[in-house]
């Protein structure tokens, strides 16, 4: 095998890995965008968030790959720079960072430095075409689902009945915040919430509470119809006849909150949370990101 063939093979190996990485980020980005993103009332804000937060990894890797195919040595250096920036961003040179980010990116940089994928047009088409195809295929169902969400705009106290459960859910406010908090604070707020659900008293009122996992699962709905959820306590799994979604009357479509705390504790450190699509997961009680909130019931 002559030197030219080796460089061609090295170049195509690099293109293959770059395309695979970019396809992964295309898949992850579009799925996550319509799972936890796309909550603004403004279309432009939603599109901006999508490109800035969710599709930026795909676009960065695609851009670096394009530069690498056209200018291999510049691209090789870019891969090393991106690897170091990623390590800096994650704040550590741990074994995980080294194995999953630094070494693969530096390895790609070396392959591009010595490799020359030919024909170049085919390499460029592969680097751009396959990720966008992945984006379109992976995004078809989430786009359709989100576009069909029901939002009646009513954020007041709601009584939700069905599947053997009848609960009054707190209105928009302290008992149903638009930002996240930890389990302990969620419990405290519900315990101190006033009867109308609009203020938090200085002393316990014991009117409101967090819903149990079983109640939350049974209350999940889609398109105004109960999803007929069943909570299996032994397996800690929820099942539904229809997959629930982030819709009225339970969820605020224009809120970044996509998870709710429930009253059920797993142990001293963890409690169950429920996702708008009905999944139930254990989480550390003092975990309180902006997208993990709660809604009190009575």
| pLDDT tens for each residue of the chain, 298 residues long | 555 688 899 999 999 999 999 999 999 999 999 999 999 999 999 999 999 999 998 999 999 999 999 999 999 999 888 888 877 776 666 655 555 567 788 889 899 998 889 999 999 999 999 999 999 999 999 999 999 999 999 999 999 999 999 999 999 999 999 999 999 999 999 999 999 999 999 999 999 999 999 999 999 999 999 999 999 999 999 999 999 999 999 999 999 999 999 999 999 999 999 999 999 999 999 999 999 999 999 9
Nearest to 297 by CA among 177, 182, 226, 215: 215
User: Are 1 and 51 a contacting pair, CB within 8 Å?
Assistant: no
**Residue 266: in which H helix or E strand, if any?**
none
User: Are 14 and 106 a contacting pair, CB within 8 Å?
Assistant: no
Report pTM. 0.88
Report how many helices (DSSP H) and strands (DSSP E) the chain contains, helices first.
9, 10
Burial of 141 (0-12, 13-18, 19+ CB in 10 A): exposed
Supply the pLDDT for residue 234: 93
- Measured CA to CA, the distance from residue 164 to residue 152 in angstroms comes to 24
Task: Provide the token pair at 193.
Answer: 């919430």
Sign of the torsion angle spanned by Cα atoms 16, 19, 21, 24:
negative
The residue assigned the tokens 């984006």 is: 135
Identify the three-state secondary structure at position 257: coil
Nearest to 260 by CA among 126, 160, 151, 170: 170
The per-residue b/e assignment along 38-74, b for 16 or more CB within 10 angstroms, e otherwise, is bbeeeeeebeebbeeebbebbebbbebbbbbbeebee
User: Are 48 and 155 a contacting pair, CB within 8 Å?
Assistant: no
- Measured CA to CA, the distance from residue 32 to residue 41 in angstroms comes to 18
Supply the pLDDT for residue 99: 59
Identify the three-state secondary structure at position 249: coil
Supply the pLDDT for residue 237: 96
173, β-bridge pairs: 176
166, β-bridge pairs: 161
> Cα 80–65–124 angle (5° rounding)?
160
């Amino acid at each position: 095998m002559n030197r030219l063939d080796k460089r061609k093979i090295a170049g195509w190996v690099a293109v293959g890995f770059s395309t695979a990485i970019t396809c992964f980020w295309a898949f992850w980005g579009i799925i996550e965008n319509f799972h936890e993103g796309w909550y603004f009332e403004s279309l432009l804000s939603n599109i901006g968030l999508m490109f800035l937060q969710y599709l930026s990894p795909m676009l960065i890797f695609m851009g670096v790959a394009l530069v690498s195919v056209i200018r291999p040595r510049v691209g090789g250096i870019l891969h090393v720079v991106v690897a170091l920036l990623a390590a800096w961003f994650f704040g550590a040179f741990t074994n995980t960072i080294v194995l999953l980010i630094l070494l693969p990116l530096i390895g790609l940089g070396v392959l591009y430095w010595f490799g020359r994928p030919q024909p170049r047009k085919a390499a460029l088409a592969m680097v751009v075409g396959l990720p966008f195809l992945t984006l379109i295929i992976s995004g078809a169902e989430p786009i359709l689902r989100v576009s069909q969400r029901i939002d009646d705009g009513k954020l007041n106290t709601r009584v939700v009945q069905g599947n053997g459960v009848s609960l009054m859910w707190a209105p928009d406010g302290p008992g149903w915040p638009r930002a996240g908090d930890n389990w302990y604070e969620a419990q405290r707020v519900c315990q101190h919430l006033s009867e109308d659900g609009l203020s938090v008293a200085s002393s316990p009122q014991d009117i409101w509470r967090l819903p149990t996992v079983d109640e939350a699962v049974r209350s999940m709905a889609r398109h105004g119809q109960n999803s007929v959820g069943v909570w299996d306590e032994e397996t800690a799994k929820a099942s539904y006849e229809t997959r629930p979604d982030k819709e009225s009357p339970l969820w605020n479509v224009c809120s970044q909150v996509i998870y709710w705390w429930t009253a059920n504790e797993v142990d001293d450190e963890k409690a169950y949370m429920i996702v708008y699509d009905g999944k139930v997961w254990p989480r550390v009680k003092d975990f309180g990101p902006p997208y993990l909130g709660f809604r009190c019931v009575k």
